[in-house]
Structure 1
Amino acid sequence: MNKLNTLMATLLLTTSLSHASTDVVQVGAGGWRTQPSAADQKVPEAPFRTPDMLQRAAPTNQWYSSVMFTRWSEVLHALPLTAKATQNGLEIGFPKKVITPTDRKDVEVTYPHTADITLRPLSFRPEAALLAGHGDWSVDISFPNQDQSLKTTVAHGSPFVFATLSHGDLGFDLAADLQAHIWSRDARVLIVKGVSKTYAAFAPTGGTWRQGALAWTLNLPTDKRYMSVAVMPNENDSTVQQFLASAYTHISNTKAEFRVDQDKNEVVTTFLVETHNKEGVRASTIVGLYPHHYFGNKDLPATAVGSLPSIRGELKFYAADKFTTKSVYQGFVPYWPGVKDTAKSRAIVSNLSKESSRARRMMLEIGQGPYWQGKGLQRISHLMTVADVQGETATRDKLLALIKKRAEEWLSGQSARTYFHYSPTLGTVASYPEEYDAVKDMNDHHFHYGYWIRAAADIGMRDPEWIKAEKWGGMIDLLVADIATAQRGRKDFPYLRNFDPYEGHSWASGTGMSPDGNNQESSSEAINAWVGLMLWGSLQGRQDLVDLGTYLYATEIQSINHYWFDIHGLTLPPEYKNVEVSMLFGGKLAHNTWWIDEPRQIHGINLLPLTASSTYLAASPVFTHKNMAALEQEIDIYQGRGKRAKPDDIWQDLFAKYVALVDPKKGLARWNEWGSIELGDTRTHAQHWLFFLNEVGTPDLSMTANTKFYASFKAATGQRTYMVYNPTKLPLDVRFSDGYILKALPVSLTVSP
């Protein structure tokens, strides 16, 4: 039994044995509360699940999660299709792009759902729509009424929707702008046409299509109550024939299986579609690959079936039950070494002295809940790291004691105000006081807990005893399990709560109750969480967690570069006026934030927190400079609307550090030592960052190494700096891809001479 299984078995046992006299379950030196305080919000229920699904932890924070929280779902943006569960049955749409101008003088791009086709059972009226099952990127929705039901399956990338009826026939309702006719080459196939869209619906052998006044009816044989409908790239007979060959291969499950190839330093992900053949000769299903799947991919099938536009760019279709992607893992180290220049070191230490004296207040400056506390813990842990590498050991120890004490206050479970609570209602850890609807709507768990996990890893690098399970590590393991349980079908926590294996990135909303679908704003905070997993796993001797974090880190970076930054020019529509997306939805692209439309914060939300693991942001210097040029233009527009940022130079440290990743001198020139500081960072850490990059140059992301925690920098002179963090107790000979070998000392950061 692995460590996670042991932890969760203990969790469930202690939940059942908790005495009425106490509501705290001890986990090592800490504990979690079995009930929230009387004034605190409880986690929502997710009642719209079949009995089998009610026995599992609820898959919140997914693209289909709204099915569980409301009788009739919100819009599900499956791509290329949209779907919506209604009292009549399942609506299916192929959305078209809509451009909406904004007060910011830019536009938002939406792909709103409209019901082109509704699959409607004729022998009964559904009582609700229930989550009946799901794969890694597919979902089963049941429409029951006592012993009768309609079951439908929708999947990311699939042009098909599959349906099975228990009784009766199926109504096939069409939007007013669509026309249908039976295909001349096979009476089982109904062709549905509209402006710029073509569907085909496939009846079973023996089924018949009948046209009524307002809708078509599919009469089904008693032994073949199934059908499928697909959106197609065109209405050519050859295309219809290709889709007909796959129409009876119904999707039963989907899995994304990954492995980390350490020798090649890449993450290999195999996407598997499990199917059930309903009739005829079994054929492969048809999968639609997103840009991050097919860009630079040499392992795809030889021939595509066609393509369709989508909010993620062009989807390319292949007849295949599996495909593989490979992503290079570009390493990082948890912190950078001290600055060598004497004068610059003195300047860093001067700021360190001032900020360390105010560290207690700096740890919680705005919010009082787990997001701002976690952010504050990481803020001070990074200040501690600078003290460490600059040789200020007394300051390091003072800051270490401070963050341990604050974390312990929360992790102990002894406070009725600041605490963690495990709820079996959904299978989740809730944290209080609530911030950003993290309890009510299950939002942002990976953002919040990512900060805690990363700060705990920073502590553990300096105090291994503190992170032991019998001390405080057990409570951190609980937060890890909430966002990164890697076993499917568990009762205590869902599989990878926030992560969408097919889209390749995380979702932030827990319930997904928006017609625009689920969303994620701060992609960089998601990266921070996966970095925390890797470091925590390495310190705990959990290679499974290190590999899982590697998969999430490398995969999410690929999606960020395509869908937030579009550095390859494949995804943003030509009408979109901004250079990057700050808020990515299932069906919307927006350049805004949840709290303000001020340009600095719009651009900065997908950069913070800038840490030594943020080197992926140096992937495209051209994009970085374009991004900053766009920021200046947007500031002018913002001020032209009579608005001002408060303060005027808000987050100037973020942009100085960001630019320094691709041009250290230009980044340092942007920096105002006495200007504003983003409240997840410190003046000392920003200054150390800028001075360090001006000494060693920019990250060389073309370099790989046969270990997890490595980095390489190249100065303008051509001088290279290599570094490796070795969390093990044995020295390692690390080979970089250019042949350089660095002997990495145990439990430390080793830097080349």
Structure 2
Amino acid sequence: MHPIMSAFPAVNNTAAPDPTPFFSQNLVNPPLPTNAAWQNFALNKGNQSEYIHPYLIQSSHGALTVCYPTRVVNTSLIFQVFLANIIISCAPSGSHKITHYDDLSVTLDLPGPLMVPLVRGSPYITCIVKGGQLKFSTIHAVLNVSSFNGYTKHKIQFNNGQTWLLYSSAPLKLNSDLSVSGEFLGVLRLALLSDKFDQVADEKEGILDRFSSCYPTSAHVDLTAPFRISYKWKTRGSGDLLMLSHSVHRQIMTVPGHDKVISEFGYRSMDGDLVGIVGDSWVLEETPIPITWYSIKGFQSDKEMQRVVSALEQDVADLNPITTKSSYFYGKEIARAARLALIAEETHSHSLIPRVREFLEQHITPWLDGTFKGNGFVYDNKWGGLISRNGANNSTADFGIGVYNDHHYHFGYFCYAIAVLAKLDRNWAWRFKPQVYSIVKDFMTVNPAEELLYPRLRMFDLWKLHSWASGLTEFPNGRNQESTSEALNAYYSAALLGLVYEDTDLIGIGSTLAALEMRSAKAWWHVPLNTTVYESEFVQENRVTGIVWANRRVSELWFAPAEWRECRTGIQLLPILPITELLFSDVGYVKELVEWTVPALSRKGVEESWKGFLYSLESLYDKDSALQKVKTLKGYDDGNSLTNLLWWIYTRGGSGRF
């Protein structure tokens, strides 16, 4: 149990697995990471691979397997194939323990003993051997093993076209069959030099030689300044540190000296080219974004505003009690109502606000004071976090909230509705501040040393710079996320809560993560025709991905096949908010996306709710056409409304009639 109490009652979470088998004794107490990029190492048997750029890594039967994956591409998916390129062990069997983790790394202790600090973006895999008989193996035929520098450097060539370099801090007698003569004590560093798919620069071996003596053991990311992200690695050995950057890093990295960027040194990855950067610290400067309650551009005329008010009056009159018990769908419905209150403020329809405020208070309070019938929020002492009462004993209830799926989606909608109600009723806001902060801290705690109930940034990946939605479920392709727009909603809504509570830290971290989530969505989920991240075969058939996995890109969704393009587009847009304008700021891409999606609307059975999202995007470049199509809609998403659609379209600028 924790020395401090949660604002919500504790529960025995039988849906989630036991964390104790894979965490060392000093780490096993909650809160523990539930959505980390290395989560497979702590689930089931711990033997599913994880993508630690640029390598796939597996820990199984006491051995570490390293793979530089080949890439398979077709029109509907991209994935990387795991093969046992090199297997390293010091013992015939056993399992690993996680002895350290941080923002950018995880350390596995394997039997032998063999300590492996897996630091994301390192071109080398580092193994600290504490004495014993090393064993190397591979599934490939070994063509040649060459030794250099007094047996401290080895070049290994396989029949699959790969050449690897192995460095050791002490002499290592590596034989032609990869057997080792004698015991070894020291540090090993393994790096791919080339394979048949890469055109290798002549300098690559020299670069790997030069930086082989300095290795990272851990890292920290500083987020204290808004829109500024600082990486700092702890290192051992001698010389400078060489790491790899992905494209989003390079977009916002403060320009290092010319001697720090090694553009001719890199690796391919699932996320585009990785490029070498020298130095044990980086600074990333994100472009500041506005966090506003209302539209950025505003209405163009009183006549257009009045058309929104007419719809608003009807939507407010139609507010009915919410019947669902699902934390996700319930959250969408209260957020939908909250949008009506803010649109009422923006259109000066103040007489409509009390009805919405009453609706929000009646529907949100029971979740916070424990009186909601049929579900509710509870605290899980096993991993450390908020879950739903229904999710505590059913791993599929509430979309797996009990196994830490989609927390930023569920709680993001609640945060939005709560922020609006708190804005309207300050007494209510302060009465329920402990519960409100518990909800937002579940997915957005920055300093666990000060907040002992929740792990640091549960959903957000500080190396990839976006969130993962899946939690304590083992997947062969690692973590995944479907809807970036719902992730954006969570961080935007947290920043709105910061405005209400005058909490500058909450505003700063919420807006920073929102900006990063948007940038990553544009890099890896949006697929404009001119992107170079993905191969042309995939790009030609996809304007947006379905699900982004750590080690895979697919066209289908969890709930829809690839050909349901309107769903793919809509899930990357909802909910429609003021910040949506920034997410879809590239109007050229938006036009490509809409034109790609429109043919899917001719399919029988297309739901009206998804059409509404497509028309809202069309309004960015053809307001009149979008308005006429919205006029024909017979239904809306449960988190959307006619009022919200018209508010969006009429605040785009330009002409339009309804």
Do Structure 1 and Structure 2 share a fold, with TM-score over 0.5?
yes
Deviations 1:652-695 (A, max 9, x none): 22122223235434433442353331221111111122123246
Matches within 5 A, 1:411-560: 411-415=368-372, 417-434=374-391, 435-468=397-430, 471-488=431-448, 491-560=452-521
Select the residue among 559, 576, 579 that pairs with 1:610: 576
Deviations 1:289-343 (A, max 9, x none): 1011123756134241512211111111123222222221232411239757454
Select the residue among 214, 219, 225 that pairs with 1:254: 219
Matches within 5 A, 1:571-586: 571-576=533-538, 577-586=541-550
Structure 2 gaps of 5+ residues are 392-396
Select the residue among 241, 244, 260 that pairs with 1:288: 244
**Partner residue, 2:355:** 398
Q: Please state whether the residue corresponding to 1:671 is helix, strand or coil.
A: helix
* Deviation, structure 1 residue 481: 1.3
Question: 1 CA distance for matches of 2:534 and 2:635?
Answer: 32
Asked if 1:34 is matched to 2:10, the reply is yes
CA contact (8 A) 1:93 1:113 kept: yes
CA contact (8 A) 1:427 1:494 kept: yes
Q: Please state whether the residue corresponding to 2:454 is helix, strand or coil.
A: coil
Question: 1 CA distance for matches of 2:230 and 2:319?
Answer: 46
Q: Which range moves more in the overlay, 336-345 or 512-521?
A: 336-345
CA contact (8 A) 1:272 1:321 kept: yes
The amino acid across from 1:61 in the alignment is N
Question: 2 CA distance for matches of 1:573 and 1:673?
Answer: 38
* Deviation, structure 1 residue 179: 3.7
Question: 1 CA distance for matches of 2:505 and 2:373?
Answer: 35
CA contact (8 A) 1:136 1:255 kept: yes
Select the residue among 303, 313, 328 that pairs with 2:272: 313
* Deviation, structure 1 residue 56: 4.7
Q: 1:308 to 1:158 in 2, by over 3 A?
A: same
CA contact (8 A) 2:30 2:381 kept: no
Matches within 5 A, 1:732-751: none
Q: Please state whether the residue corresponding to 1:478 is helix, strand or coil.
A: helix
Q: Which range moves more in the overlay, 124-133 or 229-238?
A: 229-238
The amino acid across from 1:607 in the alignment is L
Question: 1 CA distance for matches of 2:655 and 2:52?
Answer: 45
The amino acid across from 2:455 in the alignment is P
Question: 2 CA distance for matches of 1:96 and 1:396?
Answer: 57
Question: 2 CA distance for matches of 1:109 and 1:119?
Answer: 28
* Deviation, structure 1 residue 620: 1.1
Question: 1 CA distance for matches of 2:463 and 2:399?
Answer: 26
CA contact (8 A) 1:172 1:218 kept: no
Deviations 1:436-463 (A, max 9, x none): 5434431011111111111111112211
Asked if 1:176 is matched to 2:140, the reply is yes
Question: 1 CA distance for matches of 2:646 and 2:215?
Answer: 57
Question: 1 CA distance for matches of 2:50 and 2:257?
Answer: 28
* Deviation, structure 1 residue 283: 1.5
CA contact (8 A) 2:30 2:382 kept: no
Select the residue among 157, 162, 166 that pairs with 1:197: 162
Q: Which range moves more in the overlay, 514-523 or 686-695?
A: 686-695
Q: 1:679 to 1:320 in 2, by over 3 A?
A: same
Q: Which range moves more in the overlay, 650-659 or 84-93?
A: 650-659
CA contact (8 A) 1:442 1:511 kept: yes
Deviations 1:127-154 (A, max 9, x none): 322222112121111224xxx5322122
CA contact (8 A) 1:80 1:157 kept: yes
The amino acid across from 1:284 in the alignment is D
Question: 1 CA distance for matches of 2:55 and 2:128?
Answer: 19
Matches within 5 A, 1:82-481: 82-100=56-74, 106-121=75-90, 124-144=91-111, 148-184=112-148, 187-194=151-158, 195=160, 197-212=162-177, 215-217=178-180, 219-221=182-184, 224-232=185-193, 238-258=203-223, 260=225, 267-277=227-237, 282-295=238-251, 297=253, 299-302=255-258, 303-304=261-262, 306-336=265-295, 339=299, 341-361=301-321, 363-364=322-323, 367-415=324-372, 417-434=374-391, 435-468=397-430, 471-481=431-441
Question: 2 CA distance for matches of 1:570 and 1:268?
Answer: 26
Q: Which range moves more in the overlay, 317-326 or 533-542?
A: 317-326
Question: 1 CA distance for matches of 2:150 and 2:637?
Answer: 64
Asked if 1:65 is matched to 2:39, the reply is yes
Q: Which range moves more in the overlay, 322-331 or 442-451?
A: 322-331
Question: 2 CA distance for matches of 1:497 and 1:696?
Answer: 44
* Deviation, structure 1 residue 196: 5.0
CA contact (8 A) 1:204 1:227 kept: yes
Structure 1 gaps of 5+ residues are 1-10, 16-24, 101-105, 262-266, 698-753
CA contact (8 A) 1:120 1:170 kept: yes
Question: 1 CA distance for matches of 2:181 and 2:102?
Answer: 28
CA contact (8 A) 2:286 2:516 kept: yes
Asked if 1:589 is matched to 2:553, the reply is yes
Q: Please state whether the residue corresponding to 2:631 is helix, strand or coil.
A: coil
Q: 1:556 to 1:180 in 2, by over 3 A?
A: farther
Q: Please state whether the residue corresponding to 2:521 is helix, strand or coil.
A: helix
Deviations 1:362-417 (A, max 9, x none): x45xx521111111110110012222333333321111111111111111123463
Question: 2 CA distance for matches of 1:226 and 1:545?
Answer: 42
Q: Please state whether the residue corresponding to 1:347 is helix, strand or coil.
A: helix
Question: 2 CA distance for matches of 1:432 and 1:252?
Answer: 39
Matches within 5 A, 1:659-738: 659-694=618-653
Q: Which range moves more in the overlay, 515-524 or 235-244?
A: 235-244
Deviations 1:629-661 (A, max 9, x none): 11124556xx4xxxx3343x4422212222323
Question: 1 CA distance for matches of 2:132 and 2:73?
Answer: 42
Q: TM-score, normalised by structure 1?
A: 0.79
Q: Which range moves more in the overlay, 592-601 or 252-261?
A: 252-261
* Deviation, structure 1 residue 595: 0.8
Question: 2 CA distance for matches of 1:545 and 1:179?
Answer: 57
